[in-house]
Structure 1
């Protein structure tokens, strides 16, 4: 490509002839500095200075800043010049794909780091005020903070962490349409914004458990509230028939969107410049470049497809589209996803490698990739549970763990005396199942089971023979930490129950 094709279009100075600029035009120092800044899009070398000199000569008298058209042309032609190989199109395609991958990686890292600074979900007086707004005069359970990301109910996906709030059904809440409309109106009066209208869903006429529910979505001050009122018919007398409930999740604040976009732009620019750096320093037809390119191109082309599949897999039904975006980015930050993304710049360099690519340069590139991977893995870590004792010999129900270890706990242990009857255990188990937000539970009575170490030794190991006389227990998985209060209220005081304890938080 002729170097002149990289010259940006510039307005012709008054009185200029065809293709020539008047000489000796006085220009201001700020204009030169600004031209030099935008000309930085070109690779270093005499070509850059020649371009600046030409622009200054062609500038009309009194101009203080480059014209927008000049800025666009400087960036467009400069970034293309960074790639070298003027007659090649493959390098442009490769640079575009690597820039896309780098942009996704940059956005993912920026979002993951930024979410650490998003305020916690409301608790205490703020959560109580929200309960009174949605469920006035009723005993409501739930609330509090939640982990940033949790597994979905089917265990096959992830979603934003949420806090459950609910009330057991009364005659008022079973009138789904009226109660839901009233809850919506109270939230609107409190300043919440409704997204869409109330929706109603009915099960199939021949369903074994006929179900009807009403729902709506609202947001306010960085929070998203998903209300749902569900009634299940033909349920056993000991089971619940649904609940009026809502979940509360965080919404991405404006500064987090800006940080994510900035991270994406920086990552894309880095990917483009990296390909250009390799391209300008290598032989275009070396045998090594051909062999490595055969490997690199399929990988680079495959990544956008993988990202698309992850995005489709991360779709959050009936949720704001932004949650799908950020959940997809969270998946990309995972160790396996980042390892693949971090390898692509190295593949791009290898695909264009030649005799001028030194061992020191390759080592430095790999060091940068490894340092970035270590940083991402560090930011991706969850709150580590403090190590339990190597071996413990408890004498009964364990004491409550410190609040800072259980604030985000998603596991609860319900302890029961060994001498309880099967009927008493069935009553307790039915009570556990009735609680809104208990996703799974298992009963343990064998002291050799590893779960005994989790329940009694905070993750340590139970000493041999120490569990023979210890109470049996249920290990209950809950959908959000605030479910604990409702579970404790439901089972405490039942025959044989000795205590209800939170497990340590082990999720991010």
Structure 2
């Protein structure tokens, strides 16, 4: 087992000190301390990947990069899981509406299946809409939905709706009421008790989520969407683990490559990394608190997709700029290291002789 754990160390380190490490581990690794020895072996190996033994901050910078990589990789994993989910079918919407209100004529009912799992302005993302995604409208990129509506809601309204949802086997949340319009608090013409309310009811059955809105003017709108696929959760966990590990290994490779490099390489690499991390972390620090406040402020039968918590794709342009800067930094780190002082070419005579 210990031999496999040596993979935590960089390759050159394993070649020069691997046998010594294994011999030491066999001497001190008593049976009741195997887990502790294994944990220490991995911890020291991951630290050795960073190089710079005298640095006190390299672990912190590597941790930031690894965690951010893990978060984006987790989002990518859940996105792939969403793409593999069952697409919406307009016949399911017709069946839902027909079972809830078989005695009423619907005024609008989507007759076509959504063209993709995620849509932006009602269309799949393509090169024509890419500029909209990158230049501020990325928030419009969302899971597809199917809609239906009644010009006139049933007279019993909310009470009848909830009874019919229960009879159809929908698990519903408590109704959410919101003022149909606002007014200036304290104004003589503002009476909060007399303001009509819009009412929203969210229900879930199987892999479907149904949102029903009863508007103050008397109409009713129904929206059918897909629940979060079950595969999204393990995909996110696996993506985070692989992304974090990959980010640590990549940072360690660049760190060791630039250790002892000339200042003209080290300086730009550090600056590029710092600016890139600013572009990557700023959307996360902005998006996560706003999304948390949003979720706590109203019920959500389905949480927003993970990348929206990271400010994506609304702030995808900063992410791409940061990725470009990191690629440039890695390119500089890949430059051949400078020769050690006093090293002579093979076969050259020593000038001191």
For normalisation by structure 2, the TM-score amounts to: 0.72
| Cα deviation, residue 35, structure 1 | 1.8
> What's the CA shift string for 1:41-62, capped at 9, x where partnerless?
122223333222322333447x
Q: Secondary structure, in 3 states, of the residue corresponding to 2:40?
A: helix
User: 1:86 matched to which residue of 2?
Assistant: 53
User: 1:268 matched to which residue of 2?
Assistant: 244
* Structure-1 separation of matches of 2:165 and 2:151: 18
Q: 1:246 aligns with which of 222, 226, 232?
A: 222
| Cα deviation, residue 164, structure 1 | 0.8
The RMSD of aligned alpha carbons is: 3.6
Q: Taking structure 1 as reference, are residues 337 and 160 closer, same or farther at Cα in structure 2, changes over 3 Å only? A: farther
* Structure-1 separation of matches of 2:98 and 2:36: 58
User: 1:51 matched to which residue of 2?
Assistant: 21
Q: Which protein is richer in helix relative to its size?
A: 2
* Structure-2 separation of matches of 1:85 and 1:213: 61
User: 1:297 matched to which residue of 2?
Assistant: 274
| Cα deviation, residue 310, structure 1 | 4.4
* Structure-2 separation of matches of 1:330 and 1:251: 21
Contact 1:107 1:264 in 2 (8 A): yes
Does 1:198 find its partner at 2:167?
no
Q: 1:322 aligns with which of 289, 303, 318?
A: 303
* Structure-2 separation of matches of 1:321 and 1:312: 18
| Cα deviation, residue 82, structure 1 | 0.8
Q: 1:72 aligns with which of 30, 33, 39?
A: 39
Q: Secondary structure, in 3 states, of the residue corresponding to 1:275?
A: helix
Contact 1:216 1:226 in 2 (8 A): yes
Q: Taking structure 1 as reference, are residues 142 and 326 closer, same or farther at Cα in structure 2, changes over 3 Å only? A: farther
Q: 2:139 aligns with which of 157, 164, 167?
A: 157
Does 1:220 find its partner at 2:166?
no
Q: Secondary structure, in 3 states, of the residue corresponding to 2:221?
A: strand
Contact 1:102 1:341 in 2 (8 A): no
| Cα deviation, residue 304, structure 1 | 0.7
User: 1:117 matched to which residue of 2?
Assistant: 84
| Cα deviation, residue 104, structure 1 | 3.3
* Structure-2 separation of matches of 1:330 and 1:301: 13
Query: Which runs of no fewer than 5 residues in structure 2 stay unpaired?
Result: 123-136, 184-188, 340-353
Contact 1:107 1:329 in 2 (8 A): no
Query: Which runs of no fewer than 5 residues in structure 1 stay unpaired?
Result: 1-33, 233-241, 359-508
Q: Taking structure 1 as reference, are residues 271 and 260 closer, same or farther at Cα in structure 2, changes over 3 Å only? A: same
Contact 1:99 1:271 in 2 (8 A): yes
* Structure-2 separation of matches of 1:152 and 1:313: 23
| Aligned ranges 1:47-446 → 2 under 5 Å | 47-60=17-30, 67-124=34-91, 126-140=92-106, 141-143=108-110, 145-146=113-114, 147-151=116-120, 157-158=139-140, 159-170=142-153, 173-187=154-168, 190=169, 192-195=170-173, 197-203=174-180, 204=182, 211-232=196-217, 242-284=218-260, 286-288=262-264, 289-311=266-288, 318-320=299-301, 322-328=303-309, 331-332=312-313, 336=317, 339-349=320-330, 355-356=336-337
Q: Taking structure 1 as reference, are residues 114 and 301 closer, same or farther at Cα in structure 2, changes over 3 Å only? A: same
For normalisation by structure 1, the TM-score amounts to: 0.52
| Cα deviation, residue 348, structure 1 | 4.7
| Count of residues paired in the alignment | 304
Q: Secondary structure, in 3 states, of the residue corresponding to 1:163?
A: strand
> What's the CA shift string for 1:131-169, capped at 9, x where partnerless?
23332322234255334334579x783232211122231
